[in-house]
Structure 1
Amino acid sequence: MTVSNTLSSRPAGILRRFGAMVYDGFVVAAVLFIAALPLPVLDQLASGEAWALAIKRVYLLGACFAYLGGFWVHGGQTIGMKAWRLHLLRDDGHRLRWKDAFWRFTVSCLSLAALGLGFFWVFVDPHRRTWHDHLSHTYIAKVESA
C-alpha cells in the first residue's frame, strides 16, 4: 500500500531533516538511558572483560535500532520526523520493511563514523539524498500541510 498521496513531490529540506535529527537525538538519548539501566549487572559479572564491552555496544546499538527501525517500519515517521512533517518511504512509494530499516540504520552509523560525510551528501546530490537513502533505496518526503 502506498502512502504517497499525502506527500509533497519535492524532497525534504535540509533544515527539516536536521531539526528532526535533533528531536530524535533527545529521544534516542532517553532510550539509551533506559536501556543502560541493567548494564551495571553485566559489569559486575564480567568485570572489564573485552567480550562484555562488545556485548554492551551491540545491545545499545540494538536499542537505537529498535526505536528508529520500529518507527520507520510502523508508520514511516519517528517522533522527530512527525514533528517536522517528514515521512520515510522506499523508492517505490511503499513503507519500509525491516530489511530496509536495517540497511538504512547500518549505513547511517557508517555515515556518522565517517564524520557525517554521508549526511552532508545531501548538499551534492540533486535529489537531496544521503548515503543511507541511496543504499537502502529510501527517501524522505515532506508531508503536505492540511
Structure 2
Amino acid sequence: MNMQVPEQIATAQKVGVEALYRVFNTAFDAYEKFVALNVQAAKASILENEAVASEALALSAKDPQSFFKLQSRQSQATTKKVQAYWQHVNEIATETQSQVLASTEKLASGYVRETQVIIDNLAKNAPAQNEVITAFWSKGFGATWDAGKALNH
C-alpha cells in the first residue's frame, strides 16, 4: 500500500479538527459579544431607571400631568432602545453566521480537494484487477461533489 495515502488521510482529519475549533472559537466570540451587549444594556437600564425614578418622584408630588408626560417620553425611549438592542443582536448573529458559513465552505472545498488527491493516488497505485472499484469510487465521489455543489448554489 502506498504510504502517502495514510498521511493524506491524517492531514485531512487534522484540517477538519482545526476547522471545527475555528467554528467553536467563532461561536464563543459571538457569545462574548452577546454577553457584553447584555451587560452594557443592563447597566444603562439601571442608571436610566434610577434617574427616571428620581424625576418621577419629584414630578408626581408637584404636577401629575408632568409625571404622565415623563412616562410617555420614557415609553418612546424604551421602544427605541429595544429596537437598537435587537439590531445589535441581529448584527452579531449575521456576522457569526457569515463567518461560520465561510469557514464551512473553506473546509468543504479543502476536504474535497484532499479526498480527490487521495482517490487519484489510490487510482494510480491500484493493484491489478481493481480498475472497476477505482472507477466506481472516482465516479461516485464526482457525483457526490456535483450534488453538493448543486445544493449550495
| Larger relative strand fraction | 1
TM-score (norm 2): 0.29
Larger relative contact order (CA 8 Å, sep ≥ 6)? 2
